[in-house]
Structure 1
């Protein structure tokens, strides 16, 4: 008797992934976006399929949950529930026969790894076949999805692009830092899905976790906690102490791929070590891989308000040394991410960009995580809005109360309402330039005054004002030059004492020991202005630990000998490392699968020979990183050619880093390349 017999299934990976814009994502499964149709071919032998004799039913399985989806022979696929529609029958006298079925998932489906089975129900019995596995992601291309983003250019930038640039330094001396997001690297997507599976929420209640995964707000909270390892089997351990000998110095990471692979390869042991930009960049990779539009944000002069009073208190002694008295601190820069999603839980008007911060700072709902905090809620100071809006509001808007103290007695106090959140930036879509997004967080009152370069002028007495100004942006290996200007506002001469103090600083905390100071007496005439130039030599400030940039807290206290009044001016700044230059030989003709050569060059500005390790990497350009030891004589130019063969079309980044031992610093350089497809 001639029977209908299913033989094999074809998940049509290439066509489906191109249609779903998941091509390039590497997984052991078919990768799809929710709320969109995909096709499955059913190969069979024997007689043709007869819907009157056989019923085909797909079973879509996610953990302990499943839905049965009968194949309909007519109608359109649904985007509100799982559906399956028979497309057409393909018959051939000699060729194997095939049915094509269009399956679709709802735009609110949970993201995760699904198993698909198919039952053939006939009069003589039921036969169940395994079809395969799919990984279902969010879909910013679908209007019905809560992460829908209107612009194709922005979807390309914030979901598909693996070119990362983040910004570090201080508001008036910013440097771009290349970062390879690596979401297309082999195994990365599967590792990102593993993050969800290993979360405490999934371990505690699998069914509930899987149901909640339909909501990007929930996903963001889970990932924000899982990127740090503070209370789970998360990815990264944070360390800011300077001793990284049992792990990797955070300044030397160049991309997310190495970190996520290391986490997976060590049976999900946390990776050592991360700092804020590392946590944020890894979070950006995971969220983009999951289909949620995400960008990296830097907030310069970011307040860490530990007691929730929206005020940061800073203390100096009378010689200008900053004291570690308060738990509050101002981070020279802090890096988090914003993800794009609807916020039905907040009511109207709070959709769009949401702050998510994986750096472990404060607990939020029993875990070290932060967000998603609606940027619009931060702007409106809607501090009752969940999640963590007050904390983010303080990061960009806290007042700074600076006090000069002696033996616990406060000698003077000044208030600065503009310093915190001086500048908030992200990478511009389609380029590596910086985009200023300060006005999305702060209203007119909160915005910085761009023109007021000597912004640290502080005058807490009518008698004397003081300002401190760097003469040029400091660069490693050069002296730091600055002017101190004192103004006598009164018509009587004054006898003053001047105390200048420079301290080393880690970007996220109060400064440590003084490494340079100057003290002298100043006589100033009636209504006179006096300017003194100071210089700090390279050997005075040379850092001990390897870092991308050295940070300094510089302060001056002027004391009126007669009135005992004191005024203070301070400036926190970074000393930039020199940069590497990365150039492509034939930049206009970079074609997929065609060999190319790049040259990394660097002029040694130091008076001594330097040596270290040069690493060149590029996702989609280099299979393996190129690594080489280099030694460069004083004032010599290093030129190192690196061969690469692009494997993916589109905008790609080739980045280089040079870790020097003496002086201990990390240099970076990068270029973006537009790889053309084969014609």
Structure 2
């Protein structure tokens, strides 16, 4: 019997032998920069520097700069500016600055191994123009104070820079001491035309960058609910937490100025499936060791917990992933919004069809049905140019942090151009076929015969991607953006798009079924949870001959992800139809049948399959029944509001019809 090797696992391989320095991938990892750096070997003792400039004070002019750079909302005492836009720094010397004899420069440094070629060390010589470099100029000199203007390049690294002011002497460079309070955060700039995230719409910027709150849409297409959310991108510690996410991903600093790479990295890091990312997904209903996804109301606590512990936070489902991702993107300056797709297909093989397999009794075959249709699914859109794609494919991009399928070995999705998805150009990166299927997939019903073969029963080309919503600008109302993802069903444009997608390898079902001469439709009224209800089965015989339908009725409890939890009702029935007859059969459903089996955010899914005895044709229909919950509304009179404000000064809190004293 072989013995187990007792030797420990080897640690990470050193960079030595293949590069002179390791790849810089941490914003917080730094090392001391000498206050005096001699140009050559010096004699013992300090050099004579009294005749040269000495720096007394460096003022980052936070109030002026933050207002001009739309960063005054950040709860952070350091200067926060946006790239490609000038900001000011005021330097106080020990005497008046003389440009004929004095030389000074500003140094912006990030990471442990700063290099000019990597954009991690930026020396700025005032009034010296260099192509593709940061710019510096003197704005004002007054007494011994000099105000300089600094403009970062539109593609510079996004992160926290250490800032030094250095005076050049014949003996060497004399710098200011390391002072964390003088560090400068540099963010993406959607207000600058030169930046890749430029968005030319002030109202949209107010919503997708500056708005700290929002609403998330969920539920079922006929029963849409609203979930308020606090993004809190300007709250204390959130910006540092977002930078920590990039450090945790070991994202090279040199890539952190590329919005496409930042968004793709974050789509992987928001989930913990393969990289100890921010959130642990859990759809089981058991949240013993964490917080239920429905209990979260904001992103701040999640991000701060992750940054403080370095451990994934429990638990999340799709809207939590999307909301926290939204905070990350807005905080760094990338315009972003949360999108909800109702009846969203999860196609695990990219063939643009969602297979639902039932056995001969009409029951869902859980083992063989791998695809699913989510009642709703939340993802994000972020706005950016796509220089890696042909012209016209920039703008809104889909990014999805919910771990569904791997992309290049990691659970992530996007960014995928919304324009490319609408026009079937799914050959372009990243993950466009998967997103295309989420809004365009066909639902194909198969019946599994006793010999194991699958018989195609029905193809529904209109069920998936029924409605795509996001929040309206400046309002909590919803905005229908379905037309940005797909052309109307049945139009010539839609057919052209599907043909184009097929050219790029996305196969779609070509139904060869002859049209059935019996139609089946399911109807149901709105159902309150806990109530009995009736399901209507409407049959219509289109033939001039009699028809007999043997019908199998299967009622299932399903999660919002479309995954079946359990079957609560099964019934068989024969329906006889005279020529051209319309007949409605009702099925009584008691609350006792489904109530004890409900799971979180559950819906009822009815799948009806039938065989026509005379022709052997198969008919089928599917209906998701949303269980409505009672709506709670609180009305507060104006007098009560005034009374509340008055009493709160005396440490009382008024709730309608209640008066509570608090400590």
TM-score interval, smaller chain: 0.7 to 0.9
- Determine the structure 1 residue equivalent to 2:552: 499
Residue 233 of structure 1 and its aligned partner are, at CA, apart by 2.8
1:579-594 pair list within 5 angstroms:
579-581=631-633
Query: Helix, strand or coil: the match of 2:520?
Result: strand
The equivalent residue for 1:467 is 521
Aligned to 1:135: 185
1:88 corresponds to which of 122, 125, 140: 140
Matched with 1:146 is 196
Residue number in structure 2 paired with 1:340: 383
2-side partners of 1:234 and 1:134: how far apart?
A: 26
Q: Quote how far apart the aligned CAs of 1:276 are.
A: 1.1
Match of 1:523 among 573, 576, 584: 576
Task: Report how far residue 256 of structure 1 moved.
Answer: 1.0
| Root-mean-square deviation over aligned CA pairs | 3.1
Provide closer, same or farther for how the CA distance between residues 9 and 446 of structure 1 changes in structure 2, counting only shifts above 3 A: farther
1:294 corresponds in structure 2 to 336
Paired position in structure 1 for 2:161: 114
Tell me the distance in 2 between the aligned counterparts of 1:402 and 1:174.
26
Distance in 1 separating the partners of 2:587 and 2:185: 61
Task: Quote the residue 1:557 is aligned against.
Answer: 609
Q: Relative to structure 1, is the Cα distance of residues 143 and 484 closer, same or farther in structure 2, using a 3 angstrom cutoff?
A: same
Q: Name the structure 2 match of 1:328.
A: 371
Counterpart Cα distance in 1 of 2:225 and 2:429: 33
CA, structure 1 residues 303+523, in 2 after alignment: closer, same or farther (shift >3 Å)? same
Q: Report which of the two has the higher share of strand.
A: 1
Q: Is the 8 A contact 2:212 2:232 kept in 1?
A: yes
Q: Deviations over 1:382-412 (max 9, x none)?
A: 1211111111111111222111334234455
What is the match of residue 206 of structure 1? Answer: none
TM-score relative to the length of structure 1 = 0.79
SS at match of 1:51: coil
Q: Does structure 2 retain, via aligned residues, the 8 Å contact 1:596–1:643?
A: no
- Partners of 2:549 and 2:599 lie apart in 1 by 40
Measured in 2, the distance between the counterparts of 1:346 and 1:643 equals 61
Given the alignment, which residue of 282, 290, 311 partners 1:269?
311
Where in structure 2 are the equivalents of 1:354-433 lying within 5 Å?
354-407=397-450, 408-410=452-454, 412-433=456-477
The SS at the match of 2:243 is helix
> SS where residue 581 of structure 1 aligns?
coil
CA deviation profile, 1:426-460 (whole Å, cap 9, x unmatched): 11111111111111111234689xxxxxxxxxx97
Query: SS in structure 1 opposite 2:84?
Result: coil
Tell me if the contact between 1:332 and 1:507 (Cα under 8 Å) persists in the aligned partners.
yes
Structure-1 separation of matches of 2:348 and 2:646: 50
User: Which of 134, 146, 153 is matched with 1:99 structurally?
Assistant: 146
C-alpha separation between the residues in 1 aligned to 2:563 and 2:212?
34
Matched with 2:228 is 178
Q: Name the stretch that deviates more: 343-352 or 254-263.
A: 254-263
Residue matched to 2:4: none
Contact conserved, 2:58 with 2:91, CA < 8 A, in 1? yes
The residue that corresponds to 2:300 in the other structure is 257
Secondary structure of the corresponding residue to residue 564 of structure 2: coil
Preserved CA contact (<8 Å) 1:320 1:501: yes
Question: TM-score if structure 2 supplies the norm length?
Answer: 0.80
Secondary structure at the residue paired with 2:283?
coil
Q: Over alpha carbons, which structure has the higher Rg?
A: 2
Check the 8 A contact 2:516/2:617 in 1, yes or no.
no
Q: In structure 2, how many angstroms separate the alpha carbons of the residues matched to 1:640 and 1:328?
A: 51
Q: 1: distance between equivalents of 2:636 and 2:132? A: 49
From 171, 187, 193, the equivalent of 2:243 is 193
Decide whether aligned partners of structure 1 residues 364 and 117 sit closer, same or farther in structure 2, where only a CA change above 3 A counts. same
Once the 2 structures are TM-superposed, how far is the Cα of residue 348 of structure 1 from its aligned partner? Answer: 1.0
Contact conserved, 1:336 with 1:357, CA < 8 A, in 2?
Answer: yes
Question: Please, which of 622, 626, 630 is the counterpart of residue 578 of structure 1?
Answer: 630
Tell me how many residue pairs correspond in the alignment: 575
Shift in Å at residue 285 of structure 1?
A: 0.7
SS at match of 1:54: coil
What is the rounded CA distance, in whole Å, between the counterparts of 2:154 and 2:204 in structure 1?
20
Alignment deviations for residues 203-260 of structure 1 (CA, whole Å, 9 cap, x no partner): xxxxxx2222221111111111110112213101112222221112112211111211
Measured after TM superposition, the shift of residue 496 of structure 1 is 3.6
Seen in structure 2, the aligned counterparts of structure 1 residues 106 and 9 have a Cα distance that, compared at 3 Å, is same
- Structure 1, unaligned runs of 5 or more: 92-96, 203-208, 449-458, 599-625, 629-637, 645-679
* SS of 2:393 mapped into structure 1: coil
Unaligned runs of 5+ in 2: 1-49, 115-119, 493-512, 648-652
Which is worse superposed, 423-432 or 524-533?
524-533
Shift of 1:126: 3.6
* TM superposition shift of 1:26: 2.5
Q: Does residue 210 of structure 1 match 2:257?
A: no
Q: 1:440 to 1:82 in 2, by over 3 A?
A: same
Specify the SS of the correspondent of 1:442. coil
Q: Distance in 2 between matches of 1:331 and 1:381?
A: 22
On the 8 A contact 1:35/1:80 being kept in 2, the answer is no
- Take 2:96 and 2:644, find their aligned partners in 1: how far apart are those partners? 50
CA contact (8 A) 2:96 2:145 kept: no
After superposition, the Cα gap between the structure-2 partners of 1:340 and 1:533, relative to the gap in structure 1 and judged at 3 Å, is same
